[in-house]
Amino acid sequence: MHFKHCSQTDEHIIDQGDDGDNFYVIEKGVYDIFVQKEGVPVQVGKYDNKGSFGELALMYNTPRAATIIATQEGALWGLDRATFHRLIVKNNAKKRKMYEAFIDCVPLLNSLEVGLDTDILVPFLILSFVGLLSNITARLLCLLQMKAGQQDNAEVEVARCTRGQYFGELALVTNKPRAASVYAVGETKCLVIDIQAFERLLGPCMDIMRRNISQYEEQLVALFGSSVLNH
């Protein structure tokens, strides 16, 4: 069964350690994320009017890994455990196979010494499910073109991404505004991951991403004579 829940200020939607009952998709509202560190709740992030949470306990039959508190009145769509399993876990079996095969050919994920388990797929599967509700599509990648704005606003193509490559990590790693625009060249399909899942799941890839960022700087210096990434 799915249901709409109107959340109140300070309402605990999920408490860390509880059994999982529902999975939630945010319609509106800001929700803080807390995780206990040495018995003290520490805020580790927030969802700002978008995103979804509560999938971990349902996927892995584990206690809730974080506490989620509404900071203002908001609205959530909930799916109970049985519906979540029917819609996401079972119906996604085929998609999961396809994504697993795809992730095998993503160099970033392959280059890790300790392999990522298929947890990495959960946010992709959920996003593509949420896509049915809110028209966000999560798709596989083919060919993309990246352009960086110059001082005079003229755009210059700085790189092209093809199947298995990634983009969009720089602003998340550096906490800076987006450094380039990315345009689809023809029909493309991308897998999308939100910032919370990015930090939680791609932590092990952070070093490789940082190394690749220094290569962007070298390319920019070659193109423009100086680095515009500025960090």
Site for ligand 1OR in 71-100 (CB under 6 A): none
Query: Least distance (Å) from ligand 1OR to the CB of residue 57?
Result: 3
Q: Is 40 helix (H, G, I), strand (E, B) or coil?
A: strand
Candidate ranges 61-69, 93-101, 141-149, 175-183; the one touching ligand 1OR (CB under 6 A):
61-69
The yes or no reply on residue 200 touching ligand 1OR (CB under 6 A) is: yes
Number of other residues whose CB lies within 10 A of the CB of residue 150: 12
3-state SS class at 155 = strand
Q: Residue ranges of the alpha helices (H) in the chain?
A: 55-60, 81-84, 93-104, 107-110, 121-134, 170-174, 195-202, 206-224
Is 120 a binding residue for ligand 1OR by CB under 6 A? The answer is: no
Could you tell me the two tokens for 80? 């109970």
The CA distance from 43 to 71, in Å, is 12
- Does residue 44 interact with ligand 1OR by CB under 6 A? yes
22 binds ligand 1OR (CB under 6 A): no
Q: Does 125 participate in binding ligand 1OR (rule CB under 6 A)?
A: no
Q: Which of 25, 65, 70, 138 binds ligand 1OR (CB under 6 A)?
A: 65
Q: Does 29 bind ligand 1OR (CB under 6 A)?
A: no
For residue 229, give the 3-state DSSP assignment: coil
Closer of 180 and 200 to ligand 1OR (Cβ):
200
**By CB under 6 A, is residue 193 in contact with ligand 1OR?**
no
Q: Determine the Cα–Cα distance for residues 200 and 120; give it in Å rounded to an integer.
A: 9
What is the smallest separation between the CB atom of 75 and ligand 1OR, expressed in angstroms?
18
The Cα–Cα gap between 226 and 147 comes to 16
Please give the size of the binding site for ligand 1OR, defined by CB under 6 A.
18
| C-alpha to C-alpha distances, 224 to 34, 60, 148, 157, 229, nearest whole angstrom | 43, 49, 10, 12, 12
Residue 130 corresponds to which tokens in the numbers above? 């949420």
In the list 25, 196, 202, 205, the residue contacting ligand 1OR (rule: CB under 6 A) is 196
Q: Does 201 bind ligand 1OR (CB under 6 A)?
A: no
Contact 64, 14 (CB under 8 A): yes
Identify the CA nearest to 228 among candidates 155, 172, 173, 148: 148
Taking contact as CB under 6 A, which single stretch among the options 1-9, 50-58, 133-141, 183-191 is the one that binds ligand 1OR? 50-58
Give residues in contact with ligand 1OR (CB under 6 A): 14, 20, 33, 35, 44-45, 53-57, 64-66, 68, 196, 199-200
